[in-house]
Amino acid sequence: MNTLDANIRDNTTKGQLNAIRKNGDVPGIIYGGEDKNQKISISKKLLKILIEKENFLSNILTLNVNGKPQNVLPREVKYHIISDEPTHVDFLRVLPGVKIKIEVPVNFINQEKSPGLKRGGVLNIVRRKVELKCPSEKIPESLTLDLDGIDIGESFKISSVKLDPEVLPTIQGRDFVIATLAAPTVMKEPEKPAEAEGAEGEEGAEGTEAAAAADGEKPAADGEKKEGEDKKPSDNKKPSEEKK
């Protein structure tokens, strides 16, 4: 579990908030449960390291607030519209028995053991995250789906995921699909052997000659001219004499 040091902040104006950010810290708040909300500030450098890690918003971490540890769940991070730097972060107290809604990432393992992927199949991921409702102390880090032995045409549904009895998907009433293993989108046609192509060409030539013979025509021999070729009107004829 990741740990962050936090300090209680006591500010009342926007200028004081900006001063906290200029000092390299990020304002935040801890809420939830019967305790009052706590205004805190944490190191922006350390916060960015955690944000860059996968699944920051679905992992519980420990905040040492003025030396007192408490488990929290990051709920929202606000960013500067231009610099994209974090400007505020909200944390929810993790209390036993309190159920919360949270999106948990889906993780796939044993891709190399899938016969469908070996044959060129494509893993279509319908849901990269699944929203769950569960006690805060039982939040799974991820939903793991095993591709070992999975072939083309098979699919993963929420029913194929092993969950704690107290952990339930927020979508109820249907066994929704998380991912499918589909056939390749483009099937490559095998090339024809060169001999087969040559044979087809010869058959095509013979077929042309046969068709010509059926129409009563003979193929022109070398040196012969077809009827009607190169005929010109005779210039030897004299114009007929005019009748007197």
pLDDT at 210 over 50: no
Give the pLDDT confidence score for residue 67 in this predicted structure.
83
DSSP state of 199: H
Sign of the C-alpha dihedral computed for residues 39, 42, 47 and 48 taken in this order: positive
pTM beyond 0.85: no
Cα radius of gyration rounded to whole Å, the chain: 40
The residues with which 61 forms a beta bridge, in sequence order, are 2, 72
Give yes or no for residue 200 having a pLDDT over 80.
no
Percent of the chain with pLDDT over 90: 51
- Helix H or strand E segment including 209: helix 194-214
Across the chain, the runs of DSSP E, i.e. the strands, are: 2-8, 25-31, 38-43, 61-65, 68-79, 86-93, 99-109, 122-125, 129-135, 143-146, 155-157, 168-169, 177-182
Residues 115 and 171 in one domain: yes
Residue 193: inside a domain, yes or no? no
> Greater confidence, 238 or 73?
73
Q: Residue 37's pLDDT is what?
A: 92
Q: How confident is the model at residue 120 (pLDDT cuts 50, 70, 90)?
A: very high
User: What's the rounded Cα separation, in Å, for the pair 2 and 48?
Assistant: 13
Residue 74 in contact with residue 57, Cβ under 8 Å? yes
Same domain, yes or no: 6 and 84: yes
- What span, in angstroms and rounded, lies between the C-alpha atoms of 120 and 34? 55
Q: Work out the mean pLDDT of the chain and round it to a whole number.
A: 81
Does the pLDDT at position 39 exceed 60? yes
Each residue of 43-70: pLDDT tens digit?
999 999 999 887 788 888 999 998 899 9
Single out the residue in 79, 94, 109 at which a domain terminates: 94
End residue of a domain, out of 166, 182, 198: 182
- Full residue range of the structural domain in which residue 86 is found: 2-94
- The whole-number pLDDT of residue 214 equals 46
Residue 23 has pLDDT above 50, yes or no: yes
Q: Is residue 227 part of a domain?
A: no
Q: If we measure between CA atoms, which residue out of 152, 154, 148 comes closest to residue 119?
A: 152
Alpha carbons 160 and 94: distance in angstroms, whole number: 28
Within this chain, do residues 106 and 77 fall inside the same structural domain, yes or no?
Answer: no
Query: CATH no. for residue 26?
Result: 2.40.240.10
How far is the first Cα of the chain from the last one, in angstroms, to the nearest whole number? 129
- Chain centroid to Cα 179, Å, comes to 11
Residues in the chain: 244
What pLDDT is recorded for position 58? 83
> Are residues 147 and 82 part of one domain?
no
Residue 190 has pLDDT above 70, yes or no: no
